[in-house]
Amino acid sequence: MTTVVKGEKVLEVKDLKTYFYTQEGELKAVDGLSYYVAKGESVGLVGESACGKSVSALSILRLIPYPPGIIVGGEIIFFGQDLLKATEEEMRHIRGNRIAMIFQEPTTSLNPVLTVRTQIAEALELHRGMEKEEATQECIRLLKLVGIPDADRRINHYPFQFSGGMQQRIMIAMALSCNPALLIADEPTTSVDVTVQAQLLEIIDDLRRRFGTSVIVITHNLGIVARYVDRVNVMYAGRMVETAPTEELYSNPLHPYTIGLLASVPRLDSERKKSLRVIKGLPPNLARLPSGCAFHPRCDYAMPKCREEYPPLEKIGENHFRACFAEISKLQKAQ
Amino acid sequence: MKDNHLIEIDQLFMYFPVTAGVLQRRVADVKAVDGISFYIKKGETLGLVGESGCGKTTTGRCILQLYEGMKGTVRFEGVELTKLKKEQMRRMRRNMQLIFQDPFASLDPRMTAGQIIGEPLKVHGLARGKEYKEQVAELFRMVELEPYMADRYPHEFSGGQRQRIGIARALAVRPKFVVCDEPVSALDVSIQAQIIILLEKLRDELGLTYLFIAHDLSVVRNISDRVAVMYLGRIVEITMADEIYANPLHPYTIALLSAVPIPDPKVDRTRKRIILKGDVPSPIFPPPGCRFNPRCYMASDICKQKQPELRELTPGSEHWVSCHMVK
């Protein structure tokens, strides 16, 4: 995975703020998020439910339902263009074409009343201007690429005739149909079986290496992304709490939340009877966020200062940033 | 039946009919559980692992006698459950409870948490009046919730808290045996660990016996004493937990283990990966011979013809495997 030559920044998210206005009040789902993805790079966006990881991805494609959601600030620079300033017409050319997305639930994201051919060919005809016959051939090629056997017959089948793993492959084929520069995979493996998870991640990684596509993988499981991403961004309550190159983050995590997440994943290579460590408490309710650092009620290292102000994201190593006041030496000792 | 066995299952079959046409003729069977036998010792946790559609949930429900039309025997403390009359079985159910996978679907949205947890006490006539209230409050504390939350409705709780309510409901009747059907797979990673630790604590305090069902070998690792791996309705390997992780023998178990990523890229990259081809076949038309043979990387001719039996490798080793290729 290090063999890819990393190029310029394909996507740069700057100080993104996406809020939802509901009966419960203002929910800051994403609150000042910044990161970038370089060409051919794969970036992981990790966090628990409601940390804002999916909302930030939907913001990139401007798919936030309005009302109640609205992008209140920030910039999303895609190849030099600020997507937040693009017209709806321009966005239509970008969605599914230059930025593609794989959704979490293949069963609900595929149209049940259209055949697979119709669904994939739609994008080919729309974005790549192909004729019907040409689109069909391309469709078969794509399905073969993602490992669907008997593709020339299977294109005439409906989604329900495929298993969950096969449906997720169709989603991947669809996402790749227009050679996107950026692929966003939102929990691509949560609804499929363990052995199929491995197959899907291999397919995505293989395509990234072959075509130099940039990839954002969104997940709540730090184990899943370890092998497949170059950099990990850890999110909590709408903000980035730590970001580092993958190896650095796993071997030297320096935010108490990252440390907790890593310790609560059951590991096959640890001593069996060693009990799991847990992060106490629950993810916060966005409508009633704690003051200061949102993680402080669950944090073992919380100090009075943490309740008062939000720690800024500060550089602590080569490409390694974190937002925490706790002393680094204390955190390292605890591991 | 051995004294220390709480549950013994012998040659269990559960086929669900597939019907067609206006006459609803039975045209085929979904062979969800296809001849399995195992036991669970008192106070032990047996992890049951396999992918979706392998029959692990059906197995759990068969033990609780929740289906009609199953074949085989299920013994609980020496009593054969399949022969019990309805009323006898109803009383027997007090001893065996179920924790469900989805804490969002398994709690009645119109009942308060207190009513949900207290209902089994009423149904089985275990407590009333002041005693009832005390017991419900005690159950709340047992699963580390506050008794004042009893008047809240399920939607006011988070996923992890709801799963705690489900656990308290199962434990209300003081069962001896609990089937935990993927109790953590719908939860966030940090909450999963909390629930697993709670289940371990309750098992040790109350002397419970668990059948812990999961689709992932890493989840059952900490909690299980023994682990059984299922594939398409049959058990392919069953042994002590330490043994299955240190010395897996069935090619499917090996592949399942290698599919679980380790959250450390340095370690993960050095592991050998086995990526299986294709999906799990349909349990309506399982492949002939060994059911795993179309996806197996070790299969030879005999695997396509003859179904392997589950055999103990060396007598007394308690390591059972069903594969022609394992010598």
- Which of B51, B200, B222 shows the shortest C-beta gap to A195? B51
Q: What is the DSSP string of B27-56?
A: EEEEEEEEEEEEEEETT-EEEEE--TTSSH
Question: What pLDDT is attached to residue A160?
Answer: 86
pLDDT tens-digit series, residues A74-122: 999 999 899 999 999 999 889 888 999 988 777 788 889 999 999 998 8
Q: pLDDT at residue A2 above 50? A: no
Predicted model pTM: 0.83
Positive or negative, the CA dihedral B319, B324, B325, B327 is positive
Looking at CATH, the fold of the domain delimited by A9-95+230-267+278-334 is given as Rossmann fold (3.40.50)
Q: Which residue of B has its CA nearest to A265?
A: B189
- Which chain A residues touch B188 with a CB distance below 8 Å? 48-49, 220, 283
Residue in A49, A194, A229, A335 to test binding to B, most B beta-carbons within 10 Å: A194
CB contact under 8 A, A268 and B200: no
Q: Tell me the average pLDDT of chain B.
A: 90
pLDDT tens-digit series, residues B82-111: 999 989 998 899 999 999 988 888 999 999
Q: Tell me the average pLDDT of chain A.
A: 86
CA nearest to B65, candidates B29, B97, B101, B105: B97
| Dihedral (Cα; B76, B82, B83, B88), 10-degree rounding | 70
pLDDT tens-digit series, residues A200-212: 888 888 888 888 8
Residues above pLDDT 70, as percent of chain B: 100
Q: For B46-65, what is the mean pLDDT?
A: 90
Give Cα A143 to chain centroid, integer Å: 23
Confidence band of A7 (pLDDT split at 50, 70, 90): low
CB contact under 8 A, A268 and B219: no
Q: Which residue has the higher pLDDT, B163 or B25?
A: B163
Beta bridge partners of B117: none
CA distance B325 to chain A (A): 21
CA distance B77 to chain A (A): 28
- Which of B190, B241, B266 shows the shortest C-beta gap to A251? B266
Compute the distance between CA of residue B291 and CA of residue B230 in angstroms, rounded to an integer: 11
CB contact under 8 A, B51 and A283: no
Question: What pLDDT is attached to residue A6?
Answer: 55
CB contact under 8 A, A193 and B280: yes
CB contact under 8 A, A268 and B279: no
What's the length of chain A? 335
CB contact under 8 A, A195 and B256: yes
Q: pLDDT at residue B112 above 70? A: yes
Q: Are A328 and A320 in contact (CB under 8 A)?
A: no
Q: Are A268 and A285 in contact (CB under 8 A)?
A: no
pLDDT tens-digit series, residues B232-246: 999 999 999 999 999
Compute the distance between CA of residue B48 and CA of residue B282 in angstroms, rounded to an integer: 20
- Which chain B residues touch A165 with a CB distance below 8 Å? 279
Q: Which amino acid is at A185?
A: A
Residue in B266, B279, B282 to test binding to A, most A beta-carbons within 10 Å: B279
CA nearest to B181, candidates B106, B93, B256: B106
DSSP A180: -
CB contact under 8 A, A194 and B256: yes
Annotated domain spans of chain A: 9-95+230-267+278-334
Q: For A129-158, what is the mean pLDDT?
A: 87
pLDDT tens-digit series, residues A263-292: 888 777 777 666 677 788 888 888 888 889
CA distance A332 to chain B (A): 16
Question: What pLDDT is attached to residue A106?
Answer: 76
DSSP H or E segment with residue A154:
helix A151-154
Confidence band of A1 (pLDDT split at 50, 70, 90): very low
Question: What pLDDT is attached to residue B1?
Answer: 64
Q: Range with the lowest mean pLDDT among A112-116, A144-148, B57-61, B312-316?
A: A144-148
Confidence band of A3 (pLDDT split at 50, 70, 90): very low
Confidence band of B170 (pLDDT split at 50, 70, 90): very high
Question: What pLDDT is attached to residue B272?
Answer: 79
